[in-house]
Amino acid sequence: MAELGKKTVVVDADLTMANVGLMLGLHDKKITLHEVLAGKAKVERAVYRSFHNLAVVPCGLSLEGVESMRLERIKPAVQSLSRDADFLLLDCPSGFGEDTLAPLSSAQEAAIVLNPDFASITNAMNAKSMVERAGLRLTGLILNRVGRWGISSRKVGLTVGATILGEIPDDPQVARASSVGEPVLIFSPRSSASKAFRKLARVLVEHGK
């Protein structure tokens, strides 16, 4: 989305199992979302620039950071960041605890990411119910690691009862890109996964108009 010229912010709201910073080479930053939620820093100090001028708010990796944070601080932080953004993406954890509900309360819409298998479909159906209880609009589903043997996207969509926004193939280039701290679009721009991510970005940008 940033590559398309949209002002895009990504917030790693997976407060206990953060990985966005690791994947974008921002794992060594001292001020993260943990410090913001602990009241030690304003959210603007936790914003870092990545590829294509993407704005990223990484989350800390320490247990101490988890223990000192206050979840009610997420919403005002997100509101502050969204003022100058075309799109703000919250990477939420899976599960149904307070650490998932707090980021959801800051969102307007939700997209559920799942693999095309029975376990993921079951989890997606539960996640859909949680999204609806939170009063959010479910934008749709994003199928990840789509391969030769997975359940068809049509069956996934019908079972969960939601639109398929995009399908990301099970591409080994994704793991290789993650190992060097780069998005696959930078590491291998012509890979099948990169093409699928670009297609998904166009869908989301068009949806946001």
**pLDDT tens digits for 65-117?**
678 889 999 999 999 999 999 999 999 988 888 888 899 999 999 999 999 99
**How is residue 28 annotated by DSSP?**
T
Query: What pLDDT is recorded for position 65?
Result: 65
Q: Is the pLDDT of residue 181 over 90?
A: no
Domain CATH code at residue 93: 3.40.50.300
Residue 61 maps to a domain: yes
Residue 21 maps to a domain: yes
Q: Is the pLDDT of residue 64 over 80?
A: no
Q: Give how many domains the chain has, as a whole number.
A: 1
134-172: burial string, b at 16+ Cβ within 10 Å, e else: eeeebbbbbbbbbeeebbeeeebbeebebebbbbbbbbe
Task: Categorize the per-residue pLDDT at 171 as very low, low, confident or very high, splitting at 50, 70 and 90.
Answer: very high
Residue 206 maps to a domain: no
Edge-first strand order for the sheet with 48-49 is 48-49, 55-57, 8-12, 87-91
Model confidence over 15-51: pLDDT tens digits? 888 899 988 888 889 999 999 999 999 999 999 999 9
Query: What pLDDT is recorded for position 158?
Result: 98
Residue 121 maps to a domain: no
Query: What pLDDT is recorded for position 209?
Result: 83
Question: What is the rounded CA–CA span in Å between residue 168 and residue 59?
Answer: 25
**How far is C-alpha 152 from the chain's CA centre?**
23
Residue 69 domain boundaries: 1-107
Residue 178 maps to a domain: no
Query: What pLDDT is recorded for position 50?
Result: 93
Query: What pLDDT is recorded for position 126?
Result: 94
Residue 119 maps to a domain: no
Residue 205 maps to a domain: no
Q: Is the pLDDT of residue 190 over 90?
A: yes
Hey, what amino acid is at 197?
Answer: F
Model confidence over 108-166: pLDDT tens digits? 999 999 999 999 999 999 999 999 999 999 999 999 999 989 999 999 999 999 999 99
- What's the mean pLDDT in 162-186? 95
Task: Please list the residues that pair with 167 across neighbouring strands.
Answer: 143
